Chains A and B, each alone.
Chain A
Amino acid sequence: MTVSRAGMYIIVVGGGKVGFHLAKELVEASHEVLVIEQDPEKAAEIQEELGDIVMSGDGCEATVLDKAGTSRADMLLAVTGDDEDNLVACQVAKERFNVARTVARINNPKNEEIFRVLNVDITVSATSAIMAHIEPELPTHRLTTLTKLGGAGLEIVELRIPDDSRVAGKRIREVLLPYQSMILLVVSEDGLPKVPSADTMVSPGDVVVAVTLQESENALREALLLPPPARSF
């Protein structure tokens, strides 16, 4: 993280484990932090640990956010355990208080797209993060998303070329890629990454790093991972 710019005012909605540790880290990085927690008991516990940086209330309610001084907040992080509460906290912060940056924790990774459409700046999903780590080891998921590039729907993905792939033994120029997709790197089995030219050969076991559109992910999977199409006579 590069939050070295001191003096930011950051509101954390939700004082569960995530909210608590987040607040602690941010306080240690000398930011001004306010945790809004609905459960007064939990709020008291946080107060005992972290001092006078807690408010007990519903962080989706405009009156509570008003009292919290949300209009001067640089950021609002909604990290409760419920996606719908995180969405509304971010939307109220944005619409009513013009908070520049809203971040939502989400549990159902399928909500990522919805939150983006609804103007939440950043979403963080533990489910997706764990999936990304185990995906390479799952036989049916040989495509791993390494990073998403902003709002344009582009992402950088990694694929391991299987032995029976239709592109094994082919040159880059012979590989048909889906819309808005491009191979950026070919990493051979000895771990040497290469920026490919049109003549670079793709071999089984190579790891290919490509940029693609989220919608083209399946097409890319098909183009690089599937065996050659059966010939019809």
Chain B
Amino acid sequence: MRVMIMGCGRTGAALAGELSAEGHDVLVLDVDPAAFRFLPDEFKGQKEVGNGIDLDVLRKVGIDTMDVFVSATRGDNRNVMAAQIAKHVFGVKVVASRVFDPLREEMYRNLGLRTINPTRVQARRLKRVIEAQTDEAARSVVAEFMQQDGMV
């Protein structure tokens, strides 16, 4: 499938790398070309510099040919605005965003966007790491998390 990822931070870049490795056609978009350094060396997709909430930019990079659009910039508002443009203006079938503010995340999820909120899960996990009796125990808690996430 053709995937556009807006925001090439650590998360966007990791996702781009993974999808590209699985053989998907990936395009990453970021306002800052320096962000592409986060991409793995094997990344075979396309890199474009531009603002993902600008209609002209989205058109130019071919958003109308995308099966999937992901917004993962640092800005919640930018992410949900871009997602809504992708979904409602260009009719992209699968649209997903990261939203840091839990209340905003919940609202946009109710409005039909696919959103995830990383903050609550991370806070709870950090708490469990702190609460571990020893450093050794903390490490096994982290290992447990990684197993849950399929990272081992």
Partner-A contacts on B (CB < 8 A): 53-56, 75-78, 80-81, 84-85, 88-89, 101, 103-104, 107, 110-111
Contact call A117/B89, Cβ cutoff below 8 A = yes
Mask: chain A, 145-157; 1 = CB below 8 Å from B; 0 = not: 0000000000000
- Closest A residue by C-beta to B73: A84
Pick the contact of B77: A63, A87, A95, A113 (CB < 8 A). A87
Instruction: Among A61, A108, A118, point to the contact of B101 (Cβ < 8 A).
Output: A61
Q: By the criterion CB–CB under 8 Å, are A62 and B103 in contact? A: yes
- Report if A88-B88 is in contact (Cβ < 8 Å); known contacts: A63-B103, A110-B55, A110-B56: no
Most buried by B among A63, A84, A95, A96: A84
Q: How close is B49's CB to chain A, nearest CB, in angstroms?
A: 18
Pair A95/B54 contact, Cβ less than 8 Å: no
Query: Are A95 and B107 touching (Cβ within 8 A)?
Result: yes
Q: Which residues of A contact B56 (CB under 8 A)?
A: 110
- Complex interface bits, A119-160 against B, C-beta within 8 A gives 1, otherwise 0: 000000000000000000000000000000000000000000
Partner among A96, A108, A114 whose Cβ is within 8 Å of the Cβ of B84: A114
The 6 closest A-B pairs by CB, nearest first: A84-B77, A62-B103, A84-B81, A88-B77, A110-B55, A84-B78
A61 touches B53 (CB 8 A): no
Q: How far is the CA of A92 from the CA of B77 in the complex (A)?
A: 11
In the complex, A117 Cα to B91 Cα: how many Å? 13
Q: Which residues of B contact A87 (CB under 8 A)?
A: 77, 81
Q: How far is the CB of A36 from chain B (nearest CB, A)?
A: 15
Measured in the bound complex, the distance between the Cα atoms of B104 and A113 in whole Å is: 23
**Min C-beta distance of B67 to chain A, whole Å:** 21
Give the Cβ gap from A151 to chain B, nearest Cβ, in Å. 15
| CB atoms of A84 and B107 under 8 A apart | no
Q: Does A60 contact B (CB under 8 A)?
A: yes
Given A83-B53, A117-B89, CB of A61 within 8 Å of CB of B103: yes
A82 & B107 in contact (Cβ 8 Å cutoff): no
CB B100 to nearest CB in A, in angstroms, measures 11
Cα distance A118–B81 in the bound complex, in angstroms: 9
Residues of B within 8 A of A117 (CB): 88-89
A37 at the interface (CB under 8 A from B): no
Q: Are B84 and A82 in contact (CB under 8 A)?
A: no
Residues from chain B with a CB closer than 8 A to the CB of A60 are 76-77, 101, 104
In the complex, are the beta carbons of A84 and B75 less than 8 A apart?
yes
Kindly list chain A residues whose C-beta atoms are within 8 Å of the C-beta of B53.
Answer: 83-84
Which chain A residues numbered 158 to 190 have a C-beta less than 8 Å away from chain B?
Answer: none
